[in-house]
Amino acid sequence: MKRLIVIGLSALALSACQNESRPQSSQKPSFYVSMADPSAQVDEAMARDMIGAYRGNNGLGRLTLDSDLQAAAQAEADAMARADKPSSADAFKIRLARTGFSAPAANISAGYHTLAEAFSGWRESPQHNRVLLDAKATRIGIATAYAPNSKYKVYWVLAVAADRR
């Protein structure tokens, strides 16, 4: 009987030690939050900071969030979700230039569920990486749109530009 009590107390003591290890956070970093949800919104500040750090590591300046670029990116992402297909980055850049943005560039993509996935995919694609590392860029807007019945589920638009003319 004493032996069972000692074993039970030992097991209890060990489990108490395990619970005192570092606290567990149930909230994941925003770059790992899935955008495949109707209420999900990309963390623009996190995107700006991730892309800015990447640009800094490549000798380029950081970017400033721009509400007009943000609105244009959101409108484009929403349009792609409604049409259930990615749009043309060139056509989007022309529309941005017509509204006064200098040297606009854009990444248009679909299928990435998290900011981390999108950022990684863009870095791996020479065409998309050029947008991330555009030396003329000073401003940024990023948006997603969720289309639950689409094979892609999530549409992404990253817009960068120089200061307005």
Give strand pairing partners of 146: 154
Average pLDDT in the 117-130 region?
97
Q: How far apart are CA 16 and CA 99, in angstroms?
A: 62
| pLDDT at 31 (0 to 100) | 86
pTM: 0.82
* Domain boundaries, given as residue ranges, for the chain: 34-164
| pLDDT tens digit sequence for 10-67 | 444 444 444 444 445 568 888 888 889 999 999 999 999 999 999 999 999 999 999 9
Q: How far apart are CA 90 and CA 42, in angstroms?
A: 23
Indicate whether 135 pLDDT > 90: yes
| pLDDT at 24 (0 to 100) | 55
- Regarding predicted confidence, which is higher, 8 or 111? 111
| pLDDT tens digit sequence for 141-153 | 999 999 999 999 9
CATH number given to 34-164: 3.40.33.10
Q: What percent of the chain has pLDDT over 70?
A: 84
